[in-house]
Amino acid sequence: MSLLKDQIEVDVQEAELATQKALSALPPILRWLLILVVLAIIPSYYISKSVSENSWLKDYQQGALIAKPSFTNQLAPTTTPVSVTSLGTNQYAAIVQITNENLDLSLDQTPYTFTFYDSSKDQVYTYSDNLYLLPDQTKYLTVPTFSSPEPVAYTNFQLSPNLPWQKRLNIPTVDLTTSLPSSYEQFSPTAFVVQGDFLNNSPYTLGTVRLTFVLFDQNNKIIGISQRDESTVAPFERRAYKQLWPNLVAPNLSHIQVTADTDTLDDSNLTVSALPGGSAGDLSRPGSGNN
């Protein structure tokens, strides 16, 4: 190893001597010109390196992917005034209609609150829940029957201040249709009855379907509110319902509106039934019992 090191040092020294002799043999003008050229190579290298880096960086920034929001200028939901109906002494229910005017944005698990006040603007009751709102959907939000020691004079409906809008690539379509309901007054026990049916015109089994019932008088004023949840509605099932308002008489009833909706934003609410075994399209190996 020592001999190799000594040989390298000797070769370097010989190269230096040869270079010195070559420079000494050159005319003075060529010698200084060569020295200036060598000295100019160093700053030229760094200048060209800097220019190339800036050029490559500019080209990269122009072609780089930049994260942008998937939507802007979303429209806030619109609501009707809250309607409050009396269901007997100190018994009330309330309803509001809400509309999502965005054609491709939805809300899921969004808190909302109803607050009720008496004539002195003292709070007498509050009700909170979460809503889902599909793109371009109009639906009712109801407050189940509640008690108040004083008549309800003022109401307030409020959504969460920070709405978690979502733009989903795909939302399953579920067609729920309701038949024209019929009604009658039941005498024992006294109750107002609405009956009819609804159809799940989709290939999904629905975990929950909410039915909302709204009664209108001849002045198109809401005089009755109710809701119910139907569970495990099979694909293409038509299911009947019978809804009662105890102790309610509606002599000035004009028409009844029944709506049905289900949460298609919740994957656990929708299931697809498996095809029955032994069908013509079943390519699995037959069992021993088939031989």
Domain of residue 123 covers 78-159
Residue 12 placed within a domain: yes
Residue 168 placed within a domain: no
- Contacts for 95 with CB less than 8 Å, ≥ 6 apart: 82, 83, 85, 140, 141, 142, 143, 212, 214, 222, 225
Percentage of the chain lying above the pLDDT 70 cut:
74
Neighbours of 191 (CB within 10 A): 16
More confident residue, 248 or 201: 201
pLDDT above 90 (res 11): no
Residue 119 placed within a domain: yes
The span from the CA of 272 to the CA of 126, in Å, is: 38
- The chain-wide mean pLDDT, for the chain, equals 84
Residue 281 placed within a domain: no
Confidence of residue 290 (pLDDT cuts 50, 70, 90): very low
Q: 126-164 burial string, b = 16+ CB within 10 Å, else e?
A: ebeeebbbbbebebbbbbebbebeeebebbebebeeeee
Question: Are the CB atoms for 116 and 94 separated by under 8 Å?
Answer: yes
3-state SS, one letter per residue, for the chain: CHHHHHHHHHHHHHHHHHHHHHHHHCCHHHHHHHHHHHHHHHHHHHHHHHHHHHHHHHHHHHHCCCCCCCCCCCCCCEECCCEEEECCCCEEEEEEEEECCCCCCEEEEEEEEEEEECCCCCEEEEEEEEEEECCCCEEEEEEEEEECCCCCCEEEEEECCCCCCECCCCCCCCCEEECCCEEEEEECCEEEEEEEEEEECCCEEEEEEEEEEEEEECCCCEEEEEEEEEEEECCCCEEEEEEEEECCCCCCEEEEEEEEECCCCCHHHEEECCCCCCCCCCCCCCCHHHC
Question: Residue 216 class from Cβ within 10 Å (0-12 exposed, 13-18 middle, 19+ buried)?
Answer: middle
Same domain assignment for residues 57 and 83: no
pLDDT above 50 (res 291): no
Residue 138 placed within a domain: yes
pTM listed for this prediction: 0.70
Question: Are the CB atoms for 211 and 259 separated by under 8 Å?
Answer: yes
Pairing assessment for the beta strands 138-147 and 91-99 based on DSSP bridges: antiparallel
Same domain assignment for residues 150 and 187: no
Same domain assignment for residues 184 and 142: no
User: What is the tally of structural domains in the chain?
Assistant: 3
The span from the CA of 151 to the CA of 117, in Å, is: 8
Residue 35 placed within a domain: yes
Quote the pLDDT of residue 286.
46
Same domain assignment for residues 108 and 134: yes
Pick from 159, 193, 222: which residue ends a domain? 159
Residue 263 placed within a domain: yes
Same domain assignment for residues 45 and 93: no
Angle at 160 between CA 158 and CA 164, to 5 degrees: 140
Neighbours of 194 (CB within 10 A): 22
Question: Are the CB atoms for 204 and 259 separated by under 8 Å?
Answer: no
Residue 244 placed within a domain: yes
Asked which of 11-15, 43-47, 187-191, 225-229 is least confident by mean pLDDT, the reply is 11-15
pLDDT above 80 (res 111): yes
pLDDT tens figures, 13-49: 666 666 666 656 667 766 666 666 666 677 776 777 7
